[in-house]
Chain A
Amino acid sequence: MLNCHDATRLMSESQERPLSMIERMSLKLHLMMCSGCSNFKEQMGSIRLMTRTFAKGKNEQEKK
């Protein structure tokens, strides 16, 4: 049974490597029961989007 620390680790690593079948299954089970980690999952996507937007468009937003 995965704990939250391991679940966040897998979610982080999934951005660098494909997870194994077993990892995906246990993560999925964990996420079904854990709202905190479900939020974490969403937020990983948001943070990636934020960082890339930050790299490109920050100047335009600042100026106006």
Chain B
Amino acid sequence: MIDTPRPRGLFKTGHAFVAPAVLLMILILMVPVVVAAILSFSNYSLGSPDFDWVGVKNYSKLFARSTYKKMLTASFVYIGVVVPLSVFLGLGAALLINSLGRFGNIYKTIYFLPVMATLLVMAIVWEFILHPDVGVVNRLLALGCGTFAETILSFGWLPWVDPATTFYGHGCAQDFPHWLGSKHTALGTIIFIGVWQGFGFNMVLYLAGLTSVPRELVHASVIDGADSAWDRFWLVTWQMLGPTTVFVVVITTIRSFQVFDTVEALTDGGPVKTTYVMMYAIYEKGILQNLIGIGSAITIVFLLFVLAVTLVQRWFVERRVHYT
């Protein structure tokens, strides 16, 4: 190699090339974290010149006030349901599609559509579908009322069941749920949309993972006596998908932490804060109500959660180092 003469000073081309990126990383990623950390100990608000340092008051509020308890509950229930469901459905869809060969591709396309579509727009469409009066869902449910379908679905045919107390019987007698308006169903509905939107992404990752399961290993398990599809799945497929699963769970968890669009458009965190997730809380407290201190404290807690998830992932990856 010919060592081309270049300026020998401390400053090299490399520095020039990374300078814009470094500057932006500091300004846009590092400084805001520090700013949030500092402001979380204050009662700062935009537009007012004075503010006080309030110590850890913002943080203690987070873990004491019922609003924030509800916030943490909503966030963790959302994550706790969306992550397993969308991972499980993604895996299930991938396995089914994979076993169908070429015909499976059409399902792959369809299941991936929600990942592509603007979530906010689709949330608004869902709101319309779940509308208590003109929505398709409740209209479809009402169609069965008064027919034999009501008898079956309200479980009136079971001697120990009072049809008026079952979901369907009650729905026909009074009305069907106001999906997004009732405190019993609102979070469930938001969760449903989250799963609807996200499982196709997991499916695609699992499909990619499945192509890397060696055929000979599956055959070896057959010879060894893994006769049922379940035995083969458990002995080979699931194990080989381990790294994919770790990744899928982490990605889905971090995405679920950030749920905002559906909540803002459909429930505004209500009813009675049942859907008051962290991102919405940051938005409402910090931006809408200009309570920067508490908003910053939530931001910091949020970042710590994301960090924890990533550390858990690293630990898993390290543990599986001898895999390949």
A associates with B: no
Residues of B within 8 A of A (CB): none
Residues of A within 8 A of B (CB): none
